[in-house]
Amino acid sequence: MKLAELQELESRWVMQTYARMPVEFVRGEGARVWDSDGKRYLDFLAGISVCSVGHCHPAVVEAVRAQVGTLTHTSNLYLTEGGVRLAQRLCESSLGGRAFLCNSGTEANECAIKLVRKHAHGRGISDPEILVLEGAFHGRTMGSLSATPGLSTNESFAPYLPGFRAVARDDPDGLHAAVGERTAAVMLEPIQGETGVNVVPDELIAAAREACDAAGALLLFDEIQTGMGRTGSLWAYEQLPARPDVMTTAKALGGGLPVGACVTTPETAGVLEPGDHGSTFAGGPLIAAASLGAFDVIDDPELLRRVRDLGGRLCDGLESVDAIADVRGRGLMVGARLEEVDAKHAASRLLAEGLIVNPIGEGTLRFLPPLVIGEAEVDEALEILARTLG
- Pick one of 43, 110, 129, 194: the residue that binds ligand PLP (CB under 6 A): 194
Candidates 29-37, 91-99, 217-225, 293-301: pick the segment binding ligand PLP (CB under 6 A): 217-225
- How far apart (Å, rounded) are the C-alpha atoms in residues 292 and 60? 8
Q: Are 69 and 78 in contact (CB under 8 A)?
A: no
Based on the shown chain and the rule CB under 6 A, indicate whether residue 106 belongs to the binding site for ligand PLP. yes
Measuring CA to CA, how many Å separate 44 from each of 4, 134, 186, 371?
Answer: 25, 27, 32, 10
- Pick one of 82, 139, 172, 293: the residue that binds ligand PLP (CB under 6 A): 139
User: Which residue's CB is nearer to ligand PLP, number 147 or number 215?
Assistant: 147
Based on the shown chain and the rule CB under 6 A, indicate whether residue 359 belongs to the binding site for ligand PLP. no
Whole-number minimum distance, CB 272 to ligand PLP, in Å?
19
Q: Which of 222, 245, 295, 367 is catalytic?
A: 222
Based on the shown chain and the rule CB under 6 A, indicate whether residue 189 belongs to the binding site for ligand PLP. yes
Q: 137 an active-site residue?
A: yes
Based on the shown chain and the rule CB under 6 A, indicate whether residue 279 belongs to the binding site for ligand PLP. no
The answer, yes or no, to whether the previous bond of 159 is cis (omega within 30 of 0) is yes
Based on the shown chain and the rule CB under 6 A, indicate whether residue 143 belongs to the binding site for ligand PLP. no
- How far apart (Å, rounded) are the C-alpha atoms in residues 107 and 260? 7
Q: Which of 164, 221, 251, 367 is catalytic?
A: 251
- Pick one of 105, 128, 255, 256: the residue that binds ligand PLP (CB under 6 A): 105
Rg (CA), the chain: 21
User: Which residue's CB is nearer to ligand PLP, number 43 or number 222?
Assistant: 222
Handedness of CA 308, 309, 311, 316 (dihedral sign): positive
User: Which residue's CB is nearer to ligand PLP, number 215 or number 224?
Assistant: 224
Whole-number minimum distance, CB 144 to ligand PLP, in Å?
6
Whole-number minimum distance, CB 139 to ligand PLP, in Å?
4
Based on the shown chain and the rule CB under 6 A, indicate whether residue 152 belongs to the binding site for ligand PLP. no
- Pick one of 113, 228, 250, 252: the residue that binds ligand PLP (CB under 6 A): 250
Based on the shown chain and the rule CB under 6 A, indicate whether residue 102 belongs to the binding site for ligand PLP. no
- How far apart (Å, rounded) are the C-alpha atoms in residues 128 and 183? 6
- How far apart (Å, rounded) are the C-alpha atoms in residues 90 and 96? 8
Angle at 262 between CA 123 and CA 335, to 5 degrees: 115
Q: Letter for the amino acid at 343?
A: A
Q: Are 188 and 200 in contact (CB under 8 A)?
A: yes
Based on the shown chain and the rule CB under 6 A, indicate whether residue 149 belongs to the binding site for ligand PLP. no
Closest CA to 353 of 376, 383, 332, 316: 383
Whole-number minimum distance, CB 143 to ligand PLP, in Å?
11
- Pick one of 52, 104, 264, 279: the residue that binds ligand PLP (CB under 6 A): 104
Report DSSP state, residue 266. Answer: G
Q: 222 an active-site residue?
A: yes
Q: With b meaning 16 or more CB within 10 Å and e meaning fewer, what string describes 34-59? A: ebeeeeebbbbbbbebbbbbbbbbeb
Give the 3-state secondary structure of residue 275. Answer: coil
Candidates 37-45, 60-68, 135-143, 339-347: pick the segment binding ligand PLP (CB under 6 A): 135-143
Are β-strands 246-249 and 218-222 bridged in parallel, bridged antiparallel, or unpaired? parallel
Based on the shown chain and the rule CB under 6 A, indicate whether residue 225 belongs to the binding site for ligand PLP. yes
Q: 295 an active-site residue?
A: no
Whole-number minimum distance, CB 384 to ligand PLP, in Å?
25
Whole-number minimum distance, CB 353 to ligand PLP, in Å?
26
Based on the shown chain and the rule CB under 6 A, indicate whether residue 221 belongs to the binding site for ligand PLP. no
Closest CA to 136 of 211, 194, 177, 220: 194
Strands (E), 203-354: 218-222, 246-249, 260-264, 324-330, 333-338
- Pick one of 149, 190, 193, 329: the residue that binds ligand PLP (CB under 6 A): 193
**Interface contacts to ligand PLP, rule CB under 6 A:** 48, 104-106, 109, 137-139, 189, 193-194, 222, 224-225, 250
| Enzyme catalytic residues | 137, 222, 251
